[in-house]
Chain A
Amino acid sequence: MILLSLAAIWLAGFGLVRAMFPRPLRWSLHNVFLFSLAVGTGAGLASCLYFLALLIAGPSLTTLASTLAGAVIVALAFGLVARRRATELSWAEGPPVPKYLLLVFAVSVALALAIFLGAVLFNPHGEEGAWSIWNLRARFLVRAGALWRLAFANNLNWTHLDYPLMLPGLVALCWKLSGESTAAPIAIAFLFTLGTVGVLMCTLAALRGKMEAVLAGTLLFGTASFIALGAALYGDVPLSFYILATLALFCLQDRHPADLRFTALAGLMAGFGAWTRNEGIIFVIAALLARAVALFRAGERSAILPQVLTFLAGAIAPLAVVIVFKLRVAPPSGLLAITPAEIFKHLSDIARWILTAEGLVIMLVNFGRFLIPIALVLGIYWYLVRFKVDARDRTGLATAGIALSLTLAAELLIDILYEPNLQVEISTSFERILAQLWPSALLMFFLASAPLQLAPGSAARKAKTASKSAKAAPPASGPASRKPAEHLQRLN
């Protein structure tokens, strides 16, 4: 039953994104991308609707079930009847992926799966931060019935009462429809982890080619701490999904400047990010500023206003839900309890700045629990391959770079100004902050790096094989028959 509820939520998300980018329903990069985006779209949509239904009509199962059913039917209907011409994402040209790399990718998928399953078997309720905040709130929302606002009572202020409700709302909705079980938060975490890799790989496949997509996917699946963070049932991986989806859609927007639906969907994703964690609110502002600055720097000033307005139009609905939640339900943030005198004292304490910088550097070196620091490995990769940015990707890359830098800087500044125990905060949350940005950083890295070339031996072998098959095959005029020749041309 839980799987059915989640499938319905996923389908609602798919209907919504397909309504914006309709293409024939078949196995294609375009549809895989939409399916990946649908994880976050469906989750955000269902969670927002759950909260509004709870606020307006109370915790009636009939109301909640009919609201979700209505949303699924409407979204699917829109998705299936949409006939407008939409931009189709297709594979970018590039060398074919060698079999050994596909094998390595498959092994990384298997290892990631084993890590995820091992972690959730060991800790089906997630890590302490997950069950004591997100799942505890979901339990209150489901078990307290009409008294659901007890979830925000003052005696629970150790559970960070001002955190948005995307995850607890979604878990509570699944529990309400199909009974309490750890399967719901685990399945949600799994879908978000998988969806994040899907969005990363599909975006790179469309913008750079299969090789970069497979490499980035291998690296993200191979980031053990990212997979473990997903299995810990925290909100960081869902937030990383929304940050990545927003920036990926901006990059796609630059390849298809006439189709502003990419920006509208980016706004929706950023809005859902704000509904996931408070850091998502920072990201919305950072993304908006970054987009305006990037377009200004690129000399595309006429595009600034339409894109900013379209982004806001996409983000407005989830942001409205966040505002209602903050004004009507959640108590004021604990940060507001810090006096200006304390903030000034923290600001002028140089030791806090040094501690933060030191913590960041250490975390950057240790990030991901790689055997060799990943920053070093990426540095060597860059030295060998170098950056070669496609002119069409410059604005998207600038947007991503500025947005990620602003988000990271703002999060660190908040820690410096407000956090009473900075040392504990650094050791417990810095890795999670970096994990929120990691998939987007990988998108930027592989989008900027020069195309990979096959080793000469490998290229020659492939060219020989292609030439043999071209001779053996009867002449044909379809697009498939042109592929070997195109590959030969590229390899030569």
Chain B
Amino acid sequence: MLAAVALASSFWFLLDVLGAVSHRAPSFRVADFESRFANFPKPGPENVYGYVSDNRPNDPASLSEFHLTQYTLAPATIKASANEQLVIVNYHGKSLDFNFLRAAHLTPYQDFGNGIALCRPAAARR
């Protein structure tokens, strides 16, 4: 009976796993997120970047994407702030939203595509 319950439960769980594998949800897969930084220059330990995203503040993906950015760009330091000399903008539209940048007091520096851009604080240009 012990063995039967263990086997049946494992089999049931396996179906869940196989279901997850066959219905891939790309937005949260680490490799997919990392591939968005394919054109981003390889950072070193001395690099410090700010980070902003156009996710809504209560979006559960927001924190995970910040963690993924740090994971992808390690050993650079990523700070959840728009006050660094260079700020990574993680956007989800087809192109950078200038209204969003204006609201965040940022000016574009370089767009790497795939929803990743580097910006500078608006004050830094003056």
Contact = CB atoms under 8 A, between A and B. Distances in A.
Contact of A108 (B7, B31, B78): B7
A125 B33 CA distance: 12
A153 interface: yes
Interface in B49-107: 64, 67-68, 70-71, 74-75, 77-79
Contacts of B77: 150, 153, 155-156
Contact of A370 (B5, B29, B46): B5
Interface residues of A, number: 53
A369 B6 contact: no
B5 A140 contact: no
A222 B45 contact: no
B3 A370 contact: no
Contacts of A119: 17
A311 interface: no
B2 interface: yes
A440 interface: no
A381 B21 contact: no
Contacts of A3: none
Contacts of B4: 104
Interface stretch (B8-16, B109-117, B118-126): B8-16
A122 B20 contact: yes
A323 interface: no
A371 B17 contact: no
A136 B14 contact: no
B74 A228 contact: no
B21 A111 contact: no
Interface in A376-415: 377-378, 380-381
B38 interface: no
A219 B79 contact: no
B2 A218 contact: yes
B8 A219 contact: no
Nearest to A373: B5
B75 A111 contact: no
B28 to A, nearest CB: 8
Contacts of B11: 111
Contacts of B71: 125, 131-132, 135-136, 139
Q: Nearest 4 pairs between A and B by C-beta?
A: A222-B6, A224-B13, A144-B75, A118-B17
27 contacts: A101-B3, A108-B10, A111-B7, A114-B17, A118-B14, A119-B17, A121-B21, A125-B31, A128-B64, A131-B30, A131-B71, A136-B70, A140-B75, A143-B74, A150-B45, A150-B75, A153-B77, A156-B70, A219-B6, A222-B5, A222-B7, A222-B10, A223-B6, A228-B13, A371-B9, A372-B9, A377-B2
Given A112-B10, A123-B30, 17 more contacts: A104-B4, A108-B10, A111-B14, A122-B21, A125-B31, A125-B71, A132-B71, A143-B45, A143-B74, A147-B75, A156-B77, A158-B67, A218-B3, A219-B6, A222-B5, A228-B13, A368-B9
Interface of A: 101, 104-105, 107-108, 111-112, 114-115, 118-119, 121-125, 128, 131-132, 135-136, 139-140, 143-145, 147, 150-151, 153, 155-156, 158, 215, 218-219, 221-225, 227-228, 368-372, 374, 377-378, 380-381
